[in-house]
Chains A and B, each alone.
Chain A
Amino acid sequence: MKKKLLGLLLTAAMAATLLAGCGGGDTPASGSSTGAKTYALVTKSAGNPFNEKEAEGFKQAVEAMGGTPVIQHPEAATADAQITVIQSLISQKVDSICIAANDENALQAALEEAKAAGIKICSVDSTVNTASRQVHVNQAGVNEIGQCLVDAVYDLTGGEGQWAIVSATSQAANQNAWIESMKEIIASDSKYANLELVEVAYGDDEPQKSTDVTQALLTNYPDLKVICAPTTVGIAAAAKVLQDQGSSVKLTGLGLPSEMAEYIGDDDAHSCPYMFLWNPIDLGRLGAYTSIALVNGDATGAAGEKFTAGDMGEYEIVTAGDGGTEIILGAPFKFDPSNIEEWKSVY
């Protein structure tokens, strides 16, 4: 009986401390109380070099404009982990959230809650659905990237033969959009009729898994000519596998110059003749300037609006393929043996 009473007391005390310990009403976040605005960036995962460069650019731009940047990496590259981060940012009463999404739709509930709390939302790099965002900061038009990659595959295969894709996770919104676009471009033009896409393999943006799926592709398709990896982690892993094995399979895709420098070359000793990417630092900076414009009221995310992105010049908000709006950074940039030396030290 006494024990029951004690148990009850303990429970009551537990509830009381929860109330007392963290009660006391909502106090404003440190950022907004000092007058400086707080701009948050949520990346896809920690340790992703592309995301880190993006975060660097974001931080630079926010600080240059006198704001406080908050960079948050989720504990895993999943939408669940990003929801946790968003919830925490709502508590902190940040002024804006700029997010590179791990899943297009899964963040909707959390981002709607953020929006209801007065936080401005934009996505960068990998989009969220139109209900969740005000505007998306796109590194390059989906079809421009698709076209670039298809032409590279066409060029490297010599116009015919088997090729495969090593992608990130199977639900990564941007990779899926590019792959879809590549498939459409190939289907729409008879010029590409002899290209045979044998498999889309998913390396989940993990170096080891990307290595494993590349090995599996080489084993399963002895006639494979080209691998296209539209992800920085995938391309680096695939490049190492191909070059270490002296494989005749050629590689292209989207990669970081600093990680890919040793694999880029026209001869047989190098696995990747050329690849593409945009500047992640600029992407992060544009994400920051967009956040600032949304918070200041210079932009609301409607198509046709124009705003000045600091020293990057003027950008226009346009209608995106999914019915929402977006801002396009620019066309993808080609890295080949002629310019890789210069770029590898940049990012």
Chain B
Amino acid sequence: MAGKSGRTLAAVPERSLKKMLVSWEGMLFLLFIAVNIFCKCISPVYTFTNVLREMPKYLTEIFLLFPMAYILLMGEIDISVGSIVCLSATMSCIVSNAGMPFPIVLLAGLMTGTVCGMVNGLLTVKFRELPTMIITLGTQIIFRGIAEIVLGSGGTISLTNMDGFRKIAGKIGPFPYLFFLVILCAVIFTVIADKKVFGRRLYAIGSNERTAFYSGIKVNRMLFTSYTVLGLLAGLSAIFLTSATYGANTTTGKGFEMDAIAMAVFGGISTAGGKGKLLGGVISAFVIICLRVGLGQINMNPQVILIILGALLILAVLLPNITQHINQKRKKASKA
């Protein structure tokens, strides 16, 4: 690669294999391999079929990762998605129990999510001076509050007809349908972020919103679209979650927002916006899933697993800062 005449190594950095492997995504990929080997060593039942069978619960959360990553790339955040999942699951259960055909049930779940997303988008755009953390904290409480009111005093609803939901929980070989849908979403969202104008604009807004605005990017439209898409995918997530629990209750989807944000941040997507790649988020999601499955199989206390994941997350955020610091010191030293 470096041998091409007239071009120094520095001129082609982003195309070299070495750069690829020392990039955050490359490191994550190596970590993914390491985690799999580690889990295989500690757990005799860490097999391909078992991992895939235990995966659906976690896969439902990955839907949220993609649009969440878009929002984080723009320097914003949405902590209401868990509540949107809860409300969407509740609504689809109610529609299903009212005897509606399954396509209508699906539509109800997706529409509820989309409408919630639009509310978030609208509030974000109309009150641009308010931090989205605060806006979505508000809607987080509101959406779950509505779900709790709809659910009534029992706080839970169970499906009376599970046929449709049983079908979507089906599998092709060992692969649940959900797996293919997540991969499809991963490809679409990654290609849009990396290759399309929409993606460029996301990074532009996250890097400097004002400059982006003056260069003609419709910031508000970008925000509104992203929040709406997040709502839609939260609806999708809710439907698959319902297919696993045959119902909904007041704790449905609790903590999903933080899991999605954690996957993104671990994947190298900065909450300050403009930095990181979706590919990193996707790999990190699978690193987290494999680790949780493996440690769960050796009956490790789940609280300890959470502590390990928390520590990994902090490390993931610290590491780039530390390496940057060291590099700067080294540069200074070489200058002197």
Binding stretch for chain B, among A69-77, A150-158, A310-318: A69-77
**A125 within 8 Å of B by Cβ?**
no
Most buried by A among B14, B155, B251, B286: B251
Residues on A with C-beta less than 8 A from B286 are 14, 18
Top 9 nearest A-B pairs by Cβ distance? A170-B155, A75-B302, A21-B36, A105-B158, A171-B156, A91-B50, A106-B245, A88-B296, A87-B54
Q: Are A91 and B302 in contact (CB under 8 A)?
A: no
Mark the stretch among A23-31, A50-58, A327-335 that contacts chain B.
Answer: A23-31
State A129–B133 Cα separation when bound (angstroms): 40
The docked-state distance in angstroms from the alpha carbon of A90 to that of B153 is 33
Residues on the B chain within 8 Å of A104, using CB: 156, 158
Q: Which residues of A contact B305 (CB under 8 A)?
A: 75
Give A26 to B305 CA distance when docked, in angstroms: 24
Tell me if A105 and B48 are in contact (CB < 8 A).
no
Say yes or no: A80 contacts B297, CB within 8 Å. no
Which residues on A sit within 8 Å (CB–CB) of B244? 83, 109-110
Chain A residues with CB under 8 Å of B128's CB are none
Binds A, one of B38-46, B100-108, B322-330: B38-46
Give the residues in chain B near A74, CB-CB below 8 Å: 302
The smallest beta-carbon distance between B10 and chain A, in angstroms, is 17
Which of chain B's residues have a CB closer than 8 A to the CB of A2?
Answer: 15
A118 at the interface (CB under 8 A from B): no
- A218 proximal to B (CB < 8 A): no
B114 surroundings in chain A (CB, below 8 A): none
Give the distance in Å from the alpha carbon of A103 to the alpha carbon of B252 in the complex.
11
Q: Does B321 contact A (CB under 8 A)?
A: no
Bound form: Cα–Cα A109–B45 in Å: 21
Q: Which A residues from 58 to 114 make CB contacts under 8 A with B?
A: 70-81, 83-85, 87-88, 90-93, 103-110
23 A/B residue pairs, CB under 8 Å, sorted by A: A3-B20, A10-B29, A14-B29, A18-B286, A21-B37, A21-B40, A26-B45, A46-B301, A73-B303, A74-B302, A75-B303, A80-B57, A80-B241, A83-B244, A84-B54, A84-B57, A84-B296, A87-B53, A92-B299, A103-B156, A103-B249, A109-B244, A200-B153
Give the distance to chain A from B101, nearest Cβ to Cβ, in Å: 21
At the interface, yes or no: A337 with Cβ under 8 Å from chain B? no
Q: A75-B303, A106-B249 are in contact. Are A24 and B36 (CB under 8 A)?
A: no
* Smallest beta-carbon distance A324→chain B, Å: 15
Q: Is the CB of A88 within 8 A of B246?
A: no
Q: How far is the CB of B263 from chain A (nearest CB, A)?
A: 16
Determine whether B164 belongs to the interface, using a CB cutoff of 8 Å to chain A.
Answer: no
Partner of A14, one of B32, B57, B153: B32
Contact of B51 among A22, A75, A80 (CB under 8 A): A22
A169 near B: Cβ within 8 Å? yes
User: DSSP class of A's interface residues: helix, strand, loop or mixed?
Assistant: mixed
Q: Does A300 contact B (CB under 8 A)?
A: no
**Which residue of chain B has the shortest Cβ distance to A1 in the bound complex?**
B15
**Chain A residues whose CB sits within 8 angstroms of the CB of B255 once the complex forms:** 76
CB within 8 A of B254: which of A72, A76, A88, A105? A76
Assembly CA distance A263 to B14 (angstroms): 69
Number of A-B contacts (CB under 8 A): 155
Beyond the given pairs A7-B279, A104-B158, 9 more chain A to chain B contacts, judged by CB atoms under 8 angstroms and listed by A's residue number, are A19-B48, A22-B47, A22-B50, A29-B44, A84-B296, A87-B53, A88-B296, A91-B45, A92-B297
B158: chain A residues at CB < 8 Å are: 104-106, 129
Q: Mark B21-42, 1 if CB is under 8 A from A, else 0.
A: 0000110010011001101100
Q: Is B39's CB under 8 angstroms from A79's CB?
A: no
**Contact with A106, one of B33, B49, B246 (Cβ below 8 angstroms):** B246
Q: How close is B172's CB to chain A, nearest CB, in angstroms?
A: 15
Selected from A3, A10, A23, A171, the residue in CB contact (under 8 A) with B250 is A171
**Chain A proximity of B277: nearest CB distance (Å):** 10
Q: Are A79 and B36 in contact (CB under 8 A)?
A: no
The verdict on A80 contacting B40 (CB below 8 Å), with A26-B47, A88-B296, A170-B155 known, is: no
In the complex, whether B64 has a CB less than 8 A from a CB of chain A is no
B219 CB-CB contact with A under 8 Å: no
B245 touching A80 by the CB < 8 A rule? yes
- Docked pose: A91 CA to B54 CA in angstroms: 8
Measured between beta carbons, the chain B residues less than 8 angstroms from A107 are 245
Which residues on A sit within 8 Å (CB–CB) of B50?
22, 26, 91
Q: Assess whether A143 is interfacial by the CB under 8 Å rule.
A: no
Judging by beta carbons under 8 Å apart, are A105 and B15 in contact? no
Among candidates B49, B155, B243, residue contacting A26 with C-beta atoms closer than 8 Å: B49
- Asked if A109 meets B37 with Cβ closer than 8 Å, knowing A26-B47, A46-B301, A79-B249, the reply is no
In the complex the two chains form, is B252's CB within 8 Å of A80's CB?
yes
**Nearest CB in chain A: distance from B46 CB, A:** 5
A72 B299 Cβ-Cβ under 8 A: yes
A26 to B45, CA, bound (A): 7
Structural contact, B37 and A169, CB atoms closer than 8 A: no
A109 to B159, CA, bound (A): 12
